[in-house]
Structure 1
Amino acid sequence: MADRKLDGFGQIWMVALILLCNPAAFMVKASLAINETQQQASTSVYNDITVTRNKIVTAQFECYQKLMKENTHSRQEPVCNRTWDGWLCWDDTKAGVTSEQHCPDYFQDFDPSEMVTKICTDSGQWFLHPESNRTWTNYTRCNEHTVEDKWNIFKSLSTAMNLFYLALIGHGLSLTSLLISLAIFFHFKSLSCQRITLHKNLFFSFVLNSVITIILLTAVANNQELVQRNPTSCKVSQFIHLYLFGCNYFWMLCEGIYLHTLIVVAVFAEKQHLMWYYLLGWGFPLIPATIHAVARSYYYNDNCWISSKTSLLYIIHGPICAALLVNLFFLLNIVRVLITKLKVTHQAESSLYMKAVRATLILVPLLGIQYVLLPYKPEGRVSSEIYDYIMHILMHYQGLLVATIFCFFNGEVRQGYALLLFFFFFF
């Protein structure tokens, strides 16, 4: 007597994936299923099937009681007789009328606020489905939106997994290129100068940031059991990550201050005291990171501090944005001074410094553009996905970008390699 087969019945247990896109790291969180979770899921599915079966049996029993108690009144006009369709009970319905009632709550993907329809034809017979030639009740609206929602969830999970691997690949490439760059800087003694020393510290901060980010992605974000236990170690890891993230930008600021002091203030002086740069690059980021940790523990103490839904992150982002703006001002002022000097004196030294400034001037906007784009995330699904991919590339491939511009495109490095190859082939 059942009019409709149970299409899509059952539960699809997917991999639980958390996408956390915070401005500090755009961390993509993923969780892989373990045997214990799968066993719990199987038990839950079995329990749900049992509950559903009991609900249907109870509804069927009540319907048959109702059908037997109510007397059938003789009517002259055609009427579709009361019936049980396998899921719902239907009263007598006049010919040519479509009867409606709310969807049952038997299944998780059924929306009880939607309506089920059953057509009584003009001949006084319930509508027959043309394919099965059996009486048919229209339950399609019950899970119309939930199926769409499940598809959207699946698409979101697929996108999140892609972003997760995009982040891992980005930090892997960054780590490799940065280590190669550091090896080059340490190998060629001719590159030993204060500016290269600043490059080394900048690269080292990006190396440490990539290492801690990979650890967070693979060991913390990928371990829901650890996040649920909320140990102090995962919060310490997040503190270190935010500290190193700040170090990246403040060492970029050190690059800008050094060039500004060298070209504008000290007028091509060769030596500067680097102690202040070490304090700014490695020391100052400890202040906002510590303030954020204390504030987070008191006002938004979520598990492992992985949530980005808190304004406390501005404690980290505020100083970074300030460093970017100050750096941009310094670099524009440097360009102004160098252009003036080149017009007046045409000094070769000014031309060389312009090349050094150009690399930093390119990097600063590239490293800071995500803070400009951040408030303007589009609403549409496709445009939002494109936005996420762009932001992940900007955030997780910074180390590769820094190594490429400051080392691989460096004229002195290329000259050193050319000299090395010359001696290798001819001596």
Structure 2
Amino acid sequence: MSNITQLVFPDSLSSHGNGSLAPEIQRMWCEDLYKHTEAALKLMTSDTNNSFCLADHDGALCWPPALSGTITELPCPQMFNEQVYETGGNATRKCMDTGDWSATTNYSQCLTESALSEIDLSVVLRIIFISGYSLSFGSLCAALVILRHFRSLKCVRNTIHANLFAALLLRLIAWVLMYSYSELVTFSKTSRFDVILIIVSSKLHLHF
């Protein structure tokens, strides 16, 4: 039993979310839509040890109540946040054994070919970008060690160079910290409400 929506409601009620609504309103609308389903599931599981996930809105789709340990499928949204999706596929989300929905939704089947190409290009650019900064970091560290270790190289000119290398090294460290922080902030803000970034993030994680 992987899709509770099809068992209780006709397909017309397997509704997509409206990205223009506030997240709180989306969740309230979703909970109200499936309140009768939740009541039915409570009766079904009252005599057993089974639990179920409550209706939940992930920012793009309204997920119906589902029995724990099952995977629910919903058709991909046609458009969300001005991003066009592949409507021939399905988005999937798992109801965990604890009765809670998984933190993220799998929208991999919803990506169009053009979106996949853009993501592949972004992965290559990110690899080049990070590789270049890593090489610069290693070179600066090696240069500083050499200039500080060998006394024969100590002179005013090399001291100036060493200070310059140290400044560049600090700049690299600052960039890494800022980049890491921005990635964490972006993921925390989009983990539920910006679906396309979830897809990009998950695909990048697969490559790395």
Query: Which structure features the higher share of strand residues?
Result: 2
Query: Which structure features the higher share of helix residues?
Result: 1
**Which TM-score band applies after superposition, normalised by the shorter structure?**
0.3 to 0.5
TM-score by length of 2: 0.38
Larger radius of gyration: 1
